[in-house]
Amino acid sequence: MGKKKLRAIDLYSGVGGWSLGLRMAGINVVASYERWGMANETNFKNNRHQAQTVDIRRLSLDELPTDIQIVVGSPPCTQFSYSNRGGNGDIADGLKDIIKFLTIVDYLKPKVWAMENVPRVAEILEQELLPGGCLRKFKHLNLKSHIVNMEEFGLPQKRQRCIAGNFDFELLESYKSATHKCTLGKVIKALAKKKIVDPIYGIEMDRADLRDHVTERALNSEEERINMASKTLHPVYNAMSFPDRLDRSVRTITATCTRVSRESIVIEDPTIPNSYRRLTVRERACLQGFPITFQFYGSSYGHKLRMVGNAVPPLFSYFVGQALQQRAAEKISALSTHAESLRAPVPPAEDASPDKPGAHFPKTRTFRFAIPSLRLKSGVRFDLANVVRKDRVDWAVEFYFGTPKSIQSIDLAALSLSAVLSRIPMAISAQVHSELEKVSQFVCNADIGNMQRVWSHNGVGLTRPFMLLDELDERGSEMVKLLMPYERLTQELVGNVLLDTYGAEAIKLPGLLKLANNAALILAGLIIGATTNAALIKHPQKAAILLARAAA
Ligand SMILES: C[S@@+](CC[C@H](N)C(=O)[O-])C[C@H]1O[C@@H](n2cnc3c(N)ncnc32)[C@H](O)[C@@H]1O
């Protein structure tokens, strides 16, 4: 007779990432608890256990099953996460769910338990377990926490998480060496075939039976531009590649992502060169370690993205399930042996239509992008931006420098252009003036009066703001080349502009060294920005456009 399976419950269970992994590891998940009905339907249909729709904060302990040897779960991370609330969430509120989770562990007294959350929670747990902390009363549960990168367990995703619990982390770590590396490219390629073989679980399926693999329309040129700029030219965050590299694992799959967001993973469509698209729900699910047979019973595309992004990767929870049962690495069966238990539920989920381009934008839609040739890493940059005031929109080049804690900006309209230009050496004077003339001419001939209308998709016009940005980029790059040999002079002229603006305080400005070390670029930006702004102000259509007109 086989060994009796250990009985487990899954708290804050979502679609059952924990439940599925534990089930594959041979654990009997008898019940799961979650307040989102659609997630429970998904969990129930795929994992065939009782998935209860409840508010766990109000769940009374005597409603829980008895004879439970394992408790797992993922209390919500919204209040702790840096990506959700920029690190400013209500930690006390987030801790209420962790307290409830630990209260349940304390009540059921399972042999082992595991809780997953964002990495930041490791420090919070440590702090709150100290004398006086709100988790001190759970000290006897022997909570230890550990940061894991799920990529090391065969997931094609660099997903860092905190795992807390009272089980053998060393044993869990020992499984890493036997896992196989998978990449974004491998997932994309596998799902593009007629006869699909799951890149992680080896399950076979005809393309016609694969759900949620609806390719969305390629990014249009504007979306492509914004997406690329937010990844490659972000003023503060590290540069990312655009499109995403196929030979690597991906960054964290999130629960939301728009067509233009920095977080969204974008690939070059293998079937249409030079065309870029986001991933399908199924591609994201594979990158999250779900088998291709798993069905997401969400009623909209957004629901499905949330189900996938929120989940604990079942591939990872499979390994935790093994460690919870103290199974030695060599005793873990190959993933392909689980194909039978991973049969798709019937009926399968309906596909949901992806978001379409051409969302509605307010007439006041904001535009702010750095001019690529006139930016340095760490936030020093010249932006082309629209400034929306009550009933008008002004376009301008703006200069930012300093440090993240003390961002400085200079009004380029106040800059004395003639004083700077009078000091430009004869050898390059004609070329410098010619570049500035090109800028003035471009602005003068541009349809500035309708630029906001085009940008906000509220009407037609001849000039898109990215056309102006590209012109400024090109002129900027030429100007930097011209000024580059004049290091001393450019430093002096930049210094003069700072002195004119800040007076004696100029020497105390943050980030001065950066400006001095890149004086040719800064001077190029100052004179191009001042020229652009002057041309915008005296533009025949007037730089300040009444919003009512833009919408007409
Ligand atoms: C990080 S997700 C967990 C995902 C899950 N482990 C999975 O694999 O899909 C947190 C879940 O907690 C649920 N939740 C949040 N507050 C809850 C509450 N008070 N009661 C029950 N569920 C809650 C959310 O709906 C969400 O699905």
DSSP state of 157: B
Measured CA to CA, the distance from residue 103 to residue 98 in angstroms comes to: 8
CA of 13 relative to ligand 1 center, distance in Å: 6
Tokens 């040739």 — which residue?
373
- Which residue has the least CA distance to atom 27 on ligand 1? 14
CA of 117 relative to ligand 1 center, distance in Å: 11
User: Which of 103, 105, 91, 100 lies closest to 35 in space, CA to CA?
Assistant: 100
Name the token pair of 247: 């030979």
Mutational pocket test of ligand 1: of 35, 150, 256, 304, the residue with most ligand atoms within 8 Å of the beta carbon: 35
Name the token pair of 56: 């766990």
Query: Residue 71: is its pLDDT beyond 90?
Result: yes
Mutational pocket test of ligand 1: of 34, 99, 290, the residue with most ligand atoms within 8 Å of the beta carbon: 34
Would you place residue 548 in the very low, low, confident or very high pLDDT band (cuts 50, 70, 90)?
very low
What's the whole-number mean pLDDT along residues 335-341?
A: 91
CA of 305 relative to ligand 1 center, distance in Å: 14
Q: Residue 337: what pLDDT? A: 93
What's the whole-number mean pLDDT along residues 378-395?
A: 89
User: Which of 46, 34, 25 lies closest to 285 in space, CA to CA?
Assistant: 46
CA of 487 relative to ligand 1 center, distance in Å: 58
Cis check for the bond before 65: say yes or no (omega within 30 of 0). no
Instruction: Please write the tens of the pLDDT for every residue from 91-144.
Output: 999 999 999 999 999 999 999 999 999 999 999 999 999 999 999 999 999 999
CA of 521 relative to ligand 1 center, distance in Å: 50
Query: In this structure, are residues 19 and 70 in contact, taking their beta carbons and an 8 Å threshold?
Result: no
CA of 318 relative to ligand 1 center, distance in Å: 19
Q: Which of 43-47, 164-168, 259-263, 362-366 has the lowest mean pLDDT?
A: 259-263
Residues in contact with 153: Cβ distance below 8 Å, sequence separation at least 6, in sequence order = 175, 176, 179, 315, 316, 319
Measured CA to CA, the distance from residue 140 to residue 114 in angstroms comes to: 15
Q: Give the three-class secondary structure for 11.
A: strand
Q: Residue 3: what pLDDT? A: 80
- Which residue has the least CA distance to atom 25 on ligand 1? 36
Is the pLDDT higher at 550 or at 419?
419
CA of 338 relative to ligand 1 center, distance in Å: 26
Residue 12 CA: nearest ligand 1 atom is: 12
CA of 322 relative to ligand 1 center, distance in Å: 23
Sort 59 into a burial class: Cβ within 10 Å, 0-12 / 13-18 / 19+.
middle
CA of 97 relative to ligand 1 center, distance in Å: 10
CA of 145 relative to ligand 1 center, distance in Å: 20
CA of 56 relative to ligand 1 center, distance in Å: 9
CA of 11 relative to ligand 1 center, distance in Å: 8
Residues in contact with 256: Cβ distance below 8 Å, sequence separation at least 6, in sequence order = 302, 305, 306, 309
Residue 73 CA: nearest ligand 1 atom is: 6
User: Which of 291, 213, 223, 248 lies closest to 24 in space, CA to CA?
Assistant: 291
Mutational pocket test of ligand 1: of 9, 10, 11, 12, the residue with most ligand atoms within 8 Å of the beta carbon: 12
Pocket (CB within 6 angstroms of ligand 1): 12-18, 34-36, 39, 55-57, 74, 76-77, 310-312
Would you place residue 76 in the very low, low, confident or very high pLDDT band (cuts 50, 70, 90)?
very high
Instruction: Please write the tens of the pLDDT for every residue from 139-188.
Output: 999 999 999 999 999 999 999 999 999 999 999 999 999 899 999 999 99
Measured CA to CA, the distance from residue 374 to residue 480 in angstroms comes to: 8
Mean pLDDT of the chain: 93
Q: Residue 130: what pLDDT? A: 97
Residue 10 CA: nearest ligand 1 atom is: 6
Mutational pocket test of ligand 1: of 18, 310, 316, 318, the residue with most ligand atoms within 8 Å of the beta carbon: 310
Would you place residue 536 in the very low, low, confident or very high pLDDT band (cuts 50, 70, 90)?
very high
CA of 75 relative to ligand 1 center, distance in Å: 6
* Percent of the chain residues past pLDDT 70, beyond the cut: 96
Query: In this structure, are residues 117 and 273 in contact, taking their beta carbons and an 8 Å threshold?
Result: no
Residue 77 CA: nearest ligand 1 atom is: 1
Q: Residue 2: what pLDDT? A: 64
Instruction: Please write the tens of the pLDDT for every residue from 483-525.
Output: 999 999 999 999 999 999 999 999 999 999 999 999 999 999 9
Report residue 76 CA to chain centroid gap: 18
- Which residue has the least CA distance to atom 26 on ligand 1? 14
- Which residue has the least CA distance to atom 12 on ligand 1? 12
What's the whole-number mean pLDDT along residues 231-245?
A: 85
- Which residue has the least CA distance to atom 16 on ligand 1? 76
Q: Which helix (H) or strand (E) holds 448?
A: none
Residue 17 CA: nearest ligand 1 atom is: 8
- Where are the chain's structural domains? 7-183+313-339, 185-286, 368-551
N- to C-terminal Cα separation, the chain? 79
- Which residue has the least CA distance to atom 10 on ligand 1? 76
Is the domain spanning 7-183+313-339 CATH 3.40.50.150? The answer is yes
What's the whole-number mean pLDDT along residues 228-245?
A: 86
Instruction: Please write the tens of the pLDDT for every residue from 302-316.
Output: 999 999 999 999 999
Residue 57 CA: nearest ligand 1 atom is: 19
- Which residue has the least CA distance to atom 13 on ligand 1? 12
